[in-house]
Each structure stands twice: as C-alpha cells, then as structure tokens.
Amino acid sequence: MAEPRVVVYPGSFDPLTLGHEDIARRCLKFADKLIIAVAHTATQHKDRLFSVEDRLAMIEECFSDEPRVEVADFSGLLVDFCKRIGARMVVRGLRAVSDFEYEFQMALMNRNLWPDLEMVFMAPAGRYTFLSASLVREVASLGGDISGFVSAPVLRRMREKTVS
C-alpha cells in the first residue's frame, strides 16, 4: 500500500482566518493527513495577539469536523519539523504577487536545506485574496466587525480579547 501523504501547512495563524481555512480544506483534496503547524518563531516580524496554545486550540475547534486535520507547533527550521514527522510536502497560500517573492525565496532555501521536500502553492477563493491575519487583528483592535473573516471559535476568542 502507498504511504499516506502527509502535508504540512505552516504559519503563525494569529488568528486562523477564513483564508487559511479555505487553503486547508482545499489541501484535503490531495492530503491523507494535513498538519496545521503553528510556528513559535514568526519568520516575518509580527506583533503577537494569541499564545501558541490558544492558536492550537482554536484551529482544533475549527476543524473538529475533519479527522484528517491535526494541529502541531514547532520551533526551529520547518524542514527539520517535516523530517521529524515524516512529511515531504508543504503547502503555502498565495494571495497576490506581493506574497510571491518571499515565498519563492523560502521555497528555494528549503530545497537547499532538504531537496526531498516539495513546496506547493495554492490560491484561495477570490473573496479571501485580500485577507490577512494582521489585517483582522488591526480591524478588531479598532472596533470593526470581523465576523465575515473568521469562523465562530476564532470570533469568540477575539471578542474575549478585545473586551478584556
């Protein structure tokens, strides 16, 4: 029997948005098991809103209907994490040309670090191409309505954060 295809979807997911969810659900068309992996160290400078534990809990809740999705956290190199868990495929979302340069650079660096790893890039549904976790954080912090951008478990935690 062929080995199960384990795919890693890494990111900060601070918080998980409907854009992330869209990419993850698309991955399930070709992944036997999808690991949504929350990075302890952000690769690009970002202000943190949720702890890694909170992010893992909300991702788990959002995908409680999907037994093929697992969550994990990792620190250090993505390639080392993939080797450790036996994954040879990583998925990243591409929203616009602005994502391309950074993602392309990272893909080639990862290939240098571990030639057996394949990076796969996926486009989300058009309605999510403008969405980023940092924009959601910003709109929420200014009192805007984010209910169209995140699912219920995330919205609940975002509301708890903004009132506390």
Chain positions contacting ligand ADP, by CB under 6 A? 11-13, 17, 19-20, 23, 92-93, 95, 99, 124, 128, 131-134
To ligand ADP, the closest distance from the beta carbon of 2 in angstroms equals 27
Q: Which is nearer to ligand ADP, 142 or 163 (CB)?
A: 142
To ligand ADP, the closest distance from the beta carbon of 12 in angstroms equals 4
Q: Could you write out the three-class secondary structure of 104-134?
A: HHHHHHHHHHCCCCEEEEECCCHHHCCCCHH
Burial of 148 (0-12, 13-18, 19+ CB in 10 A): exposed
Q: What is the rounded radius of gyration, in angstroms, for the C-alpha atoms of the chain?
A: 16
Neighbours of 100 (CB within 10 A): 12
Q: d(Cα 3, Cα 136) in Å, to the nearest integer?
A: 38
To ligand ADP, the closest distance from the beta carbon of 51 in angstroms equals 15
- SS3 of 34, please? strand
Q: Which is nearer to ligand ADP, 88 or 99 (CB)?
A: 99
To ligand ADP, the closest distance from the beta carbon of 134 in angstroms equals 5
Q: Which is nearer to ligand ADP, 26 or 83 (CB)?
A: 26
Q: Which is nearer to ligand ADP, 2 or 130 (CB)?
A: 130
